């Protein structure tokens, strides 16, 4: 578990995501997105202290259904899940604090 370096291929189905056990962060974006690239240092820093959380990088865009099921409109979008249930969401993070707040939602009872 921990920070994923590569995009999850093939794209999982919504049913597969909903069935995941434990804490997971879905990161929707693309490799060419400037906002996505700018957020990478903050995402990496947050995962440095949360290595027990599964990270799934999901390539989003035309023809990709998973992002639509989560209502993703801007990249990157981080969706924080516990046992397949969304607890928090961070869109276009420009600093570490919002990502840490998302991780905190996974730690809450």
Considering the domain boundaries, does residue 101 fall inside one? no
Using a pLDDT cut of 70, give the percent of the chain over it.
Answer: 99
Domain encompassing residue 65: 14-91
Considering the domain boundaries, does residue 58 fall inside one? yes
Residue 64 belongs to a domain with what CATH number?
3.40.30.10
> For the whole prediction, is pTM greater than 0.85?
yes
Angle at 36 (CA atoms; ends 33, 38), nearest 5 degrees? 110
CA dist 9 and 56 (Å) reads 10
Considering the domain boundaries, does residue 75 fall inside one? yes
Considering the domain boundaries, does residue 100 fall inside one? no
Q: Give residue 83's pLDDT.
A: 97
Considering the domain boundaries, does residue 55 fall inside one? yes
Digit-coded pLDDT (tens) for 66-75: 999 999 999 9
């Amino acid at each position: 578990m921990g920070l994923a370096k590569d995009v999850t291929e093939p794209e999982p189905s919504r049913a597969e995501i909903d069935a995941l056990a434990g804490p997971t962060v879905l990161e929707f974006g693309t490799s060419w997105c400037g906002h996505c690239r700018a957020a990478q240092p903050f995402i990496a820093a947050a995962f440095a202290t949360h290595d027990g959380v599964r990270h799934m990088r999901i390539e989003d865009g035309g023809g990709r259904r998973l992002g639509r099921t989560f209502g993703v409109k801007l990249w990157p979008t981080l969706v924080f899940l516990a046992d397949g249930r969304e607890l928090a969401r961070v869109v276009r993070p420009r600093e570490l604090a919002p990502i840490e707040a998302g991780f905190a939602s996974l730690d809450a009872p």
